[in-house]
Amino acid sequence: MTERTKDTTAVQQEQALPGDRPTPSNEDGCAVEVQNLVKRYPKTQSNAVDGISFVAKRGEIFGLLGPNGAGKTTAIGILTTGVLPSSGSAKILGLDVVANPVRVRQRIAVVPQKSNLDKRLRARELLIFHASYHGVPRVEREARADRLLVEFGLADRGKDNVNHYSGGMAQRLMLARALMHTPYVLFLDEPTNSLDPQSRLFIWDRIRSLNQQGMTIFLTTHDMDEAEQLCDRIAIMDHGRILVLDTTDELKKLVPGSTNLEDVFIALTGRTLRS
């Protein structure tokens, strides 16, 4: 009897976690909430992330745009529990990333810039193991792996060792892996960097469709085209700081005469994005 009461309370508490299930009341809530976030790596002279604050709303595609070395990857690292902040706070769906990393990891997925595929496993196994780390039951995870392999055009390569995968295939597989546990917030670090145009369009298409189904997307890019094509709102980042944060149209209005985000970036920093 007591056992049962306890169980029910536990489940209720779980369901009350702010992170779960968009309901009409919290649909406009924060997916990502960052306050005065600072990261300085040991033995370095400056902050990789230098006091940034922003909010990414549920259901939006949020972009961090900036040149290489701006601190985007560090920012994503902190948000995805892989890097500890030096100060400030970061919350995913209301859960603090430092205090509650396990609960955060259940609700997010990460597609990193460089392949981190488990090379000892075959593609299909890799998807299935990812889901089983996240507690997805066997029947469900197997069905899901097969479905995603088809969806990502890898159905006939499911038994291959991922060592034999091309860059584009690896990227698709990493995205498929990220979806195996149906995250609420999907983090993509330079998702189409160094991909051929066709793979790039494919990934963009997938990102849009996931977003339409309710997934919050948080991506970094140094490609203004990508930012413009995909993002609802963009934060322009340089030297660890966020310079501006707005929709593409509003950002362009900031700089009279600008036709694209590159112009905005040059006006703000005095240099080009790709420098």
**At 91, is the secondary structure helix, strand, or coil?**
strand
Which range in 181-189, 221-229, 254-262, 266-274 contacts another protein by CB under 8 A? Answer: 181-189
Shortest CB 10 distance to another protein, Å: 6
CB of 79 to another protein, least distance (A): 12
Residues 6+ positions from 4 with CB-CB distance below 8 Å: none
Query: Can you name the residues that pair with 38 across neighbouring β-strands?
Result: 50, 87
Spatial CB neighbours of 199, under 8 Å, sequence gap ≥ 6: 168, 171, 172, 192
Shortest Cβ 116–another protein spacing (Å): 4
The answer to whether 126 touches 173, Cβ cutoff 8 Å, is: yes
**Helical residues (DSSP H) of the chain, grouped into ranges:** 2-16, 72-79, 101-107, 123-133, 138-151, 167-179, 197-212, 224-230, 248-254, 261-269
Tokens (6 digits) for 1: 């009897």
* CB < 8 Å & 24+ apart, contacts of 197-206: 198/168, 199/168, 199/171, 199/172, 202/153, 202/172, 203/171, 203/172, 203/175, 204/229, 204/230, 206/152, 206/175
Q: Given candidates 5, 23, 45, 198, which one binds another protein under the rule CB under 8 A?
A: 23
CA distances from 212 to 151, 181, 215 (A): 16, 18, 7
Task: Fill in the per-residue mask, 118 to 157: x = in contact with another protein (CB under 8 A), - = not in contact.
Answer: xxxx---xx--xx-xxxxxx--x-----------------
Name the residue nearer to another protein (CB basis): 55 or 121.
Answer: 121
Closer residue to another protein in complex, CB, 177/233: 177
Nearer to another protein (CB atom), residue 111 or residue 251: 111
**Binding to another protein in span 26-55, by CB under 8 A:** 41
Is residue 88 within 8 A of residue 37, CB to CB? The reply is yes
Instruction: Figure out which of the listed residues 91, 107, 157, 172 binds another protein, where binding follows CB under 8 A.
Output: 107
Q: Which is nearer to another protein, 65 or 173 (CB)?
A: 173
Please give the Cα distance from 10 to 2 (Å, whole number): 12
Q: To the nearest whole angstrom, how small is the minimum distance from the Cβ of residue 252 to another protein?
A: 28
**Rounded least distance, CB 274 to another protein, Å:** 26
CB of 202 to another protein, least distance (A): 19
Inter-CA distances, 200 with 10, 64, 99, 197, 211, Å = 43, 18, 36, 5, 17
* Closer residue to another protein, CB minimum distance, 142 or 246: 142
Q: Determine the Cα–Cα distance for residues 207 and 215; give it in Å rounded to an integer.
A: 9
103 binds another protein (CB under 8 A): yes
Binding pattern to another protein, positions 50-89, x when CB under 8 A? Answer: ---------------------------x--xxxxx-----
Among 3, 5, 21, 156, binds another protein (CB under 8 A): 21
Residues that bind another protein (CB under 8 A): 10-11, 14-15, 19-24, 41, 77, 80-84, 101-103, 105-107, 109-110, 112, 114, 116-121, 125-126, 129-130, 132-137, 140, 177, 181-182, 184, 210, 212-215
